[in-house]
Amino acid sequence: MNVLAVTILVSSCLAGIFVVCFAAEARRSRRSSFERDSLLPLETGKQPATKRP
């Protein structure tokens, strides 16, 4: 197989993976925001454990 054909095939596969991941991330970011995502661990309602002297 020609080296150029393999290079083009691999490049096309990587570009396709990038496009799919980019579209999935764009769709996911519409449903949430960075501020909401940063606060998600705090939604559990549990208080942090404190040490008693």
Inside any domain, residue 43: no
- Residue 53's pLDDT band, with cuts at 50, 70 and 90, is low
Residue 6 placed within a domain: yes
Please state, in angstroms and as integers, the Cα–Cα distance from residue 31 to each residue in 22, 24, 36, following that order: 15, 11, 10
Any domain includes 12: yes
> Does 15 reside within a domain?
yes
Give the structural domain span for 25: 1-32
How many CA atoms, within 13 angstroms, populate the side-chain half-sphere of residue 10?
A: 6
7, part of any domain:
yes
This model's pTM is above 0.95: no
Q: CA end-to-end span of the chain, whole Å?
A: 72
Q: Give the pLDDT confidence of 10-51 residue by residue, as tens digits.
A: 999 999 999 999 998 888 766 667 777 777 766 555 665 666
For residue 25, being part of any structural domain is answered with yes
